[in-house]
Amino acid sequence: MGAPVKVACVGGGPANLYFSILMKRVDPSHDITIYERNPAGSTYGWGVTYWDELFNDLHRADADSARAISESSVRWDSWVADIRDRATVTVEQGEAGYGISRRRLLGILAERAESLGVRIEWEREITDQDGFGDADLVVAGDGVNSVLRDRHAEHFGPEFHTGQNIYIWLGTTKVFDAFVFAFVETEHGWIWCYGYKYSQEHSTCVIECTPETWRGLGLDQGKEADSLAILEKLFADILDGHPLIGRAQADGTAHWLHFRTLTNRTWHHGNVVLVGDAAHTTHYSIGAGTALALADASVLAKALYQEKDLETALTAYERESKSKLRSPQRAARYSARWFESLPRYIDRSPMQVITLLGQRHSVLQPLVPPALYYQFDRIAGRVGGLFGFGR
């Protein structure tokens, strides 16, 4: 599309912020406004992860924002699996992992976008498309509960698959040196966490269990403070006396959720296009959500630059992004299933559990007895060598 375009971006998340940066770098005359319902500097979540491959892509696309992201990130080279009272195993990763505060990431991208001439209207709630009559393109990056997508649900065809397990997204002042998986057995079943640092002062700690364990431990009944006290006791070994930090709901209860995997039949309708979590979600256990949102932004900006008309550009964007998404979607599906099937694996020897955990994306693993799969993995010479987290 050769001429400057007017773009309305609904949602001030990573996808829309990065898309606006890339569009302005291609042509500063593009007229771009981002509408975000929350105040500047407010966001949910704690830290997000990324890997070397993503950083290299960011550096090629916009070195200034990539440099700022790198300077605000922390790095780890290994992961640790801790199975209470049985073993603690450290495994070296094939590539470095990085964490960054979600708030800091959004701040970097917003500052960069505004420096290039993008307008950001904070605390602007968008409930329909009526205010965008003169926009050439409307980018719906307003999350998994996208208002614009749901207004045209019959066309986009959103489908949700709700996971069996229940989880809570927490922070902690314990700074983990490696990416940590910790498994704790209780009289009501297993409960586990994923922990990773995202600054020099804080880490993210996602805790997951079955609904039966959740109810058995009383996590369904108390206020958030009560839940945090129970969890701090269960994970005392890895927290080293540090507290867990939550974000209570309006009534003071803990923010426990079932993960919802979203797919859409199509990603564009007229001049409206979906990006990021409005288009797709992948289970948090592969740590790819932010990377995939930024990838959407890059592919969309490239398609708009290369194609002559809007419909052709949006079709090209959807085709390429869906193609890139297939592998992480499959990995996320099998990763979530591995944790939902934890009893199948957790009673094996510690080395077998660690190896099976590292290979949890495998299409083959659910079909083969765990002991046989472990032997196959040893024969293939890959024991402990293929973590693949976030790929």
Of 327, 234, 342, 346, give the one whose Cα is nearest residue 288. Answer: 327
CA distance 165 to 258: 6
Using alpha carbons, select from 351, 349, 339 the residue that is nearest to residue 286.
339
Give the strand order in the sheet containing 6-10. Answer: 119-122, 31-36, 6-10, 137-140, 272-274, 268-269
Residue 380 has a pLDDT of 67
Say what the pLDDT of residue 389 is. Answer: 38
Q: 385 falls in which pLDDT band (50, 70, 90)?
A: very low
Distance CA(165)–CA(37), nearest Å, equals 30
Token code pair at residue 117: 């001439």
pLDDT of 382 > 60? The answer is: no
pLDDT > 70? residue 130: no
How large a percentage of the chain has pLDDT more than 70? 96
Q: What integer pLDDT is reported at residue 64 of this predicted model?
A: 96
For the chain, helix (H) and strand (E) counts, in that order, are: 14, 16
pLDDT digits (tens, 9 = 90+) for 169-194: 999 999 999 999 999 999 999 999 99
β-pair partners for 140? 10, 274
- What is the structure's pLDDT at 304? 97
In this structure, of 188-202, 247-261, 279-293, the range with the lowest mean pLDDT score is 247-261
B/e letters for 351-387, b = 16+ CB within 10 Å, e = fewer, are: ebbbbbbbbbbbeebeeeebeebbeebeeeeebeebb
225-250 pLDDT, tens digit each: 999 999 999 999 999 999 999 988 88
Q: How is residue 141 written in tokens?
A: 């990056």
pLDDT class of 45 with cuts at 50, 70, 90: confident
Written as six digits, the tokens of 343 are 């009893």
Q: Report, as an integer, the average pLDDT of 370-377.
A: 88
Q: Which domains does the chain have, with CATH numbers?
A: 6-73+100-160+260-335 (3.50.50.60), 163-257 (3.30.9.20), 361-390 (no CATH)
pLDDT band at 254 (very low <50, low <70, confident <90, very high): very high
